[in-house]
Amino acid sequence: MVIVITGSASGIGLGVAQAFLQEGHQVVFSDLNQEALSQVAATTPSKNAIFIPCDVSSESACQNLIQESHKVFGSVDVLINNAGFQHVALLEDFPTEVFNKMLQVELVGPFMLTKCAFPLMKAQKFGRILNMASINGLVGFAGKAAYNSAKHGLLGLTKVCALEGALFNITANAICPGYVDTPLVRNQLADLAKTRQMSAQEALEKILYPLIPQKRLIAIEDIAKLALFLASDAAKSITGQPFVIDGGYLAQ
């Protein structure tokens, strides 16, 4: 299959892209950060991988990503909308331009990419859309007005894609991770540790773990395995669903 995955020069996206590549699929790595993407390209010598820079907040860049992927590999079978960033501030301090940007990257971007990929998927009567949402798509978190809005919206978009794709063998699902062991989360922990004058490990154990019943971060590999399953034939009847993978966080 041909997999197009955004935000795949780092963290979850990189791990998921590598997992699909290891399973023998053709993978289009894509990211806003061209330097990071070039570094991934340099360490991924595979004829099954190509690297296309794309800022998902730009419609022309989204169109180019889908068209180029189709031109090189002949189809687009799985679209994984993963690109994202975080900004934490109270409502009254939240810059409106950052709110708009986050919606553009984490909601409008997935819409624009799906809009481009859907006609190709309908024509080939096969498609898988995977949207990287979050537990923040299901419950509210203080300080994350834009992120919560974008991720809640992404779950709505996922359901519409599922309905419109249903008769064309196109499924759409969302993955909702809790705290994943990524550089982003580790850096946040390091900052927290500095502010609270403790070690990163202490911050993990005293601040984060009390929130997580399994008392561990989610491995990127676990997200990748879920993505592989949702893209597989075994998941052909599963559509329009959010898949929570959070170590028990939302069970409380």
User: 49 in the Ramachandran plot: left (φ > 0), alpha (ψ -120 to 50) or beta?
Assistant: beta
Which of the residues 147, 179, 209, 249 is marked catalytic? 147
Which of residues 12 and 126 has its CB atom nearest to ligand NAD in the complex? Answer: 12
Question: Of 126 and 147, which CB lies nearer to ligand NAD in the complex structure?
Answer: 147
Give the C-alpha separation, 77 to 54, whole Å. Answer: 18
Please report where in the chains the tokens 């502010």 appear, as a residue. Answer: 195
The number of residues that bind ligand NAD (CB under 6 A) is 29
Binding mask 131-150 for ligand NAD (x = CB under 6 A): -x-x----------------
Closest listed residue to residue 245, CA positions, set 218, 225, 214, 211: 218
Q: Is 249 a catalytic residue?
A: no
Positions 152 through 211 that interact with ligand NAD (CB under 6 A): 177, 179-180, 182-185
Name the strand (E) or helix (H) holding 26.
Answer: strand 26-31
Side by side, the strands of the sheet bearing 49-53 are 49-53, 26-31, 2-5, 78-81, 127-132, 170-177, 242-245
* Among the listed residues 21, 33, 103, 192, the single contact to ligand NAD using CB under 6 A: 33
The residue type at 14 = L
Q: Using the rule CB under 6 A, which residue among 9, 40, 62, 76 binds ligand NAD?
A: 9
Give contact residues for ligand NAD (rule: CB under 6 A). 6-7, 9-13, 31-33, 36, 54-57, 82-85, 105, 132, 134, 177, 179-180, 182-185
The residues carrying an active-site annotation are 147
